[in-house]
Every structure is written in C-alpha cells, then in structure tokens.
C-alpha cells in the first residue's frame, strides 16, 4: 500500500514571518540600518554642532539663510546620504536570493510566486516606514536641540511636521522602488548600478534638457518628484506640489512593481 503524505503550504502569514526572518537575520540589513542611524542622527548632529560652534564667524546673510532653511541640515543632507543605503538594501532584499540560489528553495516551499513577492514588499515596506519615521523624528529633535541657541525650529512651524514625516515616507517609497529594480534585474551589482545611476546621474542630468519640456521631464523624474515631500517650501509656480511629487514617485514605484510581478511570475528562477 502506498502512503501519500500531504505537505501543507504556508499561508500568507507564514510567508510574512519567513520573509521577516530572512530580512532580519541577514548581516547586510543590520549594518545598513546601523549606517542609516549613524548618518541620520550621528553625522547630522556632528555637522549641526560644528556649524553652531562657528555661528559667529558667518556673515549676517549666511546666518539668515541658514535660519530660513534649518531642515537643510536636519533633514535634507541626512536623507541625501541615507537614500543610497536604502537603495542598496532594497535591491538586495530580492537580488541576494537569486545570487545565492535560495530563491529556488523559497519557490519550492511556496509556488504561488505573487504571494512571495507580495510578502517581500509588505515586510520591507513596514520595516522602512518604521525605521524611516524613527530616524527622521530622532534627527529632527536632535538637530533642534543642538541649534536651539541660534535657530529656533519647531514642529508647529508651517511645513516642518510634513517635511519630517515626509522624509520617512520618501525612504519607504525609495526602498520599494529599489526592491522592484532588484526583482527585475535579479543581479545585485547591475540593479544597484541602475538605481544609483538613476538617482545620482540621470535625474540630475535632466535639468540640462532645453525648454519647458525639459523642466517637466526633470520634475517628473522619480526621485526628483519624491524629494519634494520633505521640502518645507517650494519656489514660485512649482510644477508639482509636495504631495503631488510623492504621488508621482509612488506611481513610478507601482509601475516598476507591476513589471517586477509579471517577470517574477513568468521567468524561471
């Protein structure tokens, strides 16, 4: 007599636990989050402290400029560096499994590929949102305390609370944008090169395009649009508002995730 043993497939909650275990036990995740904390809070605090120590050496015009834009130090600079770490971590969330061949074991345990990808997206999005918000607000309160003698800044100031909260949102969307890149390319070095090239080179080069259409292309580039969310104020007659900019970035991310889902389902592991 032949005995047939049925193997129970893990449900979506099991997939979430599995993806969380994989993400938190990988050393690159721990080191990346530690680096983000060191940059967002540690490096920012050191820069703010140095600037405040030299406050009296600045001209009145420079002092007025810094007083008008305190989030340039507290939020803008940390996010500019932290985004590189988030991009790498997002790519590796998917590409590392292809590099090690572990993706085949994952798909054997759960053949429903879209559920696997969805679990990765949910776990990584929650992690980036929580970490992004914690670091954004920690950076704000640390910077406010260091600069309080010369530059008063508070969450009640128009645009400040949205900028601090928006910095965490931007990093979350960027993480998912990079995760999609990793799922599409499936090669860690290639995907990281593509994401960083887009963030650091392509997005900035579009400002050189001539005419009004060039301005629109520049404004609608993914990270150019997304970064508006942590800007307290905008220049006159902007092409996008802060929330519209985040919406554009989210739209690009959803599009990439849709492509990633299609390829994840149809390609061989």
| Locus of tokens 């949205």 | 162
The model's pTM: 0.91
CA-based end-to-end distance of the chain: 36
Q: Which one, of 101, 249, 240, 73, lies nearest residue 175 by Cα?
A: 249
Alpha helices in 54-187, H assignment, sequence order = 60-68, 71, 77-100, 102-109, 113-147, 160-185
Residue 163, helix vs strand vs coil: helix
Q: Which one, of 185, 17, 156, lies nearest residue 91 by Cα?
A: 185
Rounded Cα distance between 168 and 149, Å, is 27
- Give me the tens of pLDDT residue by residue for the chain, a chain 269 residues long: 344 333 345 578 888 998 898 888 888 889 999 999 998 899 899 999 998 999 989 898 888 888 888 898 899 989 999 999 999 999 999 998 888 888 888 888 788 889 999 999 999 999 999 999 999 999 999 999 999 888 888 898 889 999 999 999 999 999 999 999 999 999 999 999 999 999 999 999 998 888 888 899 999 999 999 999 999 888 888 999 999 999 999 999 999 999 999 999 998 86
Rounded Cα distance between 26 and 144, Å, is 34
Rounded Cα distance between 156 and 187, Å, is 45
């Amino acid at each position: 007599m032949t005995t047939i043993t049925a193997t129970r497939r893990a449900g979506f909650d099991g997939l979430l636990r599995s993806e969380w275990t994989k993400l938190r036990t990988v050393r690159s995740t721990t080191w990346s989050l530690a680096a983000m904390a060191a940059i967002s809070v540690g490096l920012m605090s050191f820069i703010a402290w140095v600037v405040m120590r030299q406050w009296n050496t600045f001209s009145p015009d420079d002092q007025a400029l810094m007083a008008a834009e305190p989030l340039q130090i507290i939020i803008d600079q940390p996010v500019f560096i932290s985004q590189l770490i988030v991009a790498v971590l997002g790519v590796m969330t998917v590409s590392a499994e292809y590099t090690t061949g572990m993706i085949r074991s994952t798909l054997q345990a759960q053949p429903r590929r879209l559920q696997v990808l969805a679990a990765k997206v949910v776990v990584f999005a929650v992690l980036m949102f929580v970490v992004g918000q914690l670091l954004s607000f920690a950076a704000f309160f640390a910077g406010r305390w260091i600069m309080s003698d010369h530059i008063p800044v508070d969450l009640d100031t128009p645009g400040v609370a949205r900028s601090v909260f928006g910095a965490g949102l931007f990093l979350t969307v960027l993480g998912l944008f990079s995760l999609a890149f990793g799922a599409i390319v499936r090669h860690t070095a290639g995907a990281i090169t593509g994401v960083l090239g887009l963030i650091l080179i392509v997005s900035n080069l579009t400002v050189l395009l001539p005419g009004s259409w060039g301005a629109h292309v520049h404004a609608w580039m993914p990270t150019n649009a997304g970064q508006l969310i942590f800007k307290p104020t905008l220049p006159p007659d902007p092409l996008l508002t802060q929330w519209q900019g985040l919406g554009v970035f989210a739209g690009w991310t959803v599009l990439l995730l849709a492509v990633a889902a299609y390829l994840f389902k149809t390609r061989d592991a």
